[in-house]
A and B are shown apart, each in its own frame.
Chain A
Amino acid sequence: MPTFAGYVARRLLAGVVVLWGAATVTFVALHRVGGDPVDAVVGPGVSPTPSLRRQITEEYGFDQPLIVQYGRWLGRLLGGDLGRSYQLGRPVSAVLADQVRPTCALALSAVLLAGVLAVVTALATAGRGRLVRGLVSGAELAVVSLPSFWVGLLALTFLSFRWHLFPVAGDQGFAALVLPAVTLALPVAGVLAQVLRQSLDEALTQPFVLTVRTRGVPEALVLARHALRHAAIPVVTLAGWVVGSLLGGAVLIETVFARPGLGRVLLAAVGSRDTPVVAAIVLLSAAAFTCANLLVDLVCPALDPRLRTAPATRRTPPMPVTVAKETPA
């Protein structure tokens, strides 16, 4: 009989394994199998002198067997050392520390906005007539399909430059956050609203809802007390996907709105092939994703008692494609 503590322990272990795998992938990328790592350190277009080459090789330990380098790298990672930026010559952690705050502000405000938007539209349209639902699902489709960076560009063009409603760029206070946050939130809100509405509709056709109605329970309570809880479960499992798409989207949105943040740093690092920085940011986002999924694993049994007595051996995270809900269970 599996206990809940055992379940939590297994989920934690699975999370650690995933993170270790993610670290391994980034190590492989870092050491560019087949390429000369020294070239990466000096940057593109520079041919290092033999003495510089030797110095770099020794400093970074490139002369060691790959497995030793891997072990050392993992060890440093565990100690919180993300390495040194090739281009900036500073520790990666210091580079990131400056930039985490604006990205977090952006992502958090976007996720709040997306959640509110999704719940409001889903509740307002669940079980409604054909016309309302047709319009809303059309809007959702549009919001999910439009490239967010293009929407950002348009918003910038018209709301900032033409009509001067919002600041043009930068990280100056709340007003500068509005357009980027909305742009980042819209596609996420679209997906969440779709999933929530579909699962609400599905829950409302279940026999237990008929039972509740035959008890004389008002429709608002049928939604709030019963259907919403059933519908929440598939939405909650999307948390990992939400984290991923917000971090990915932030790269684009920060570029469009010329905001400082991890996304800008990442882009600069990709352009200059500053692999330690790229690896660190990618690894961080993998960690955020894994933590989100861990939380989901802990929250789902709270929502669904069936998972408490017989926790699923492995929960499959949902497809990261616009509502790829294949067949309703």
Chain B
Amino acid sequence: MSATASLLAHPRVGRAARAARLRPGAVPALVVVTCAVLAALWPDLLTDHSPDTTAPARALRPPDTEHLFGTDQLGRDVYARVVYGARLSLEIGVGATVIGSVVGTVIGLVAGLGGRAADAVSMRATDVLTAFPELLLALLVITVTGPGTTNVLVSIGVASVPGYARLVRSRALVVRRADFVEAGVALGVSRPALVLRHILPNTVGPLLVLASIGTGTAVVSGAALSYLGMGPRPPAAEWGVMLADGQDFVQTAWWITVFPGLAVAAVVMAVTVLGRTLRERGTEATR
């Protein structure tokens, strides 16, 4: 239609434009995510301090060369606690996303590929779940299960199911009616082969993008629930717990709350940027 569109349709021009359009911040985002994963798997690579060793004599020290992020009210090294805290926070974020996306995918596929009745039932169910604000739904689940790391993980996962189910359903509805599926029918490709080769991969592709962005959201929700005291119990090194811990000292020791929060923010932003980069790649590949 527009002149620029037809210009971009030209292979040479299009490629040049794509190369130039690498999302700003994709590289730092990759660095942040790599650091977070390293911290979660091998925290001792990033710090010599222990997150749990208390030293009342050194309590509430501001950041210096010995303690990069200062010390907390019990003299524990805040930097070490942030590093070690990555494991629990990421566990919750990733675990919840896996639960949400897997269950959501199953429901979405049943709705999108099954019959009318299956679609109606599963979509009404997700309508109902969608009506609850995510954090409140998670709190409702915790009321039933009680607090704890696993329960927080499960509750966030459950609360995120409707979003994934909807996405997968709408993709499945589009894909099953796509021209390329009909082309397969006309070629004489068998039904199981159609589902496995064409329908599933094209349905689940965009889910990966949403799940990567969703992981960020789940990390925040996990930190929020931990901050509210629903997750891991205090002395545990976890970012939300650290925020709650430091809250009583905000007047005197800002560093106890600033750094764990920064960690959450950095991870979420990085994951979101990477997810969006993925999405742009995806839409380009299918265009």
B-binding residues in A (CB < 8 A): 14, 17-19, 21-22, 24-26, 29, 32, 134, 138, 141-142, 144-147, 149-150, 153-154, 156-158, 161, 205, 207, 210, 243-245, 247-249, 251-252, 255-256, 266-267, 269-271, 273, 275, 278-279, 281-282, 285-286, 289-290, 316-317, 319-322, 324, 326-327
Residues from chain A with Cβ under 8 Å of B258 in the complex:
154
Residue B36 is within 8 A (CB to CB) of chain A in the complex: no
Would you give 22 A-B contacts (Cβ < 8 Å), ordered by A?
A: A18-B124, A25-B128, A25-B140, A142-B265, A147-B268, A153-B250, A154-B258, A156-B250, A157-B254, A158-B254, A210-B2, A245-B133, A248-B134, A251-B136, A266-B136, A270-B230, A271-B229, A282-B132, A282-B139, A285-B136, A320-B134, A321-B213
Are B170 and A316 within 8 A (Cβ)? yes
Closest to A292 in B: B131
| Set A17, A145, A157, A210: member contacting B216, Cβ < 8 A | A145
Residues from chain A with Cβ under 8 Å of B220 in the complex:
145, 147
| Nearest CB on A from B123, distance (A) | 8
Residue B283 is within 8 A (CB to CB) of chain A in the complex: yes
Chain A binding site: helix, strand, loop or mixed by DSSP? Answer: helix
A-binding residues in B (CB < 8 A): 1-2, 24-25, 124-125, 127-137, 139-144, 146, 162-163, 166-167, 170, 206, 210, 213-214, 216-217, 220, 223-224, 227-230, 243, 246-247, 250-251, 254, 257-258, 261, 264-265, 268-269, 272-273, 279, 283
| Set B142, B228, B265: member contacting A150, Cβ < 8 A | B265
Closest to A279 in B: B140
CA distance A22 to B129 in the complex (A): 7
Max chain A C-beta neighbours (<10 A), residue from B24, B143, B243, B251: B143
| Nearest CB on A from B211, distance (A) | 10
Are B243 and A251 within 8 A (Cβ)? no
Residues from chain B with Cβ under 8 Å of A32 in the complex:
144
Residues from chain A with Cβ under 8 Å of B216 in the complex:
145, 322
Are B132 and A286 within 8 A (Cβ)? yes
CA distance A156 to B243 in the complex (A): 13
Are A153 and B273 within 8 A (Cβ)? no
Are B224 and A161 within 8 A (Cβ)? no
CA distance A326 to B210 in the complex (A): 8
| Nearest CB on B from A290, distance (A) | 5
Are B140 and A153 within 8 A (Cβ)? no
Are A319 and B163 within 8 A (Cβ)? yes
CA distance A19 to B127 in the complex (A): 10
CA distance A275 to B145 in the complex (A): 12
CA distance A319 to B130 in the complex (A): 9
Are B132 and A22 within 8 A (Cβ)? yes
CA distance A146 to B219 in the complex (A): 11
A282 and B136 contact, Cβ closer than 8 Å, known pairs A145-B216, A149-B243:
yes
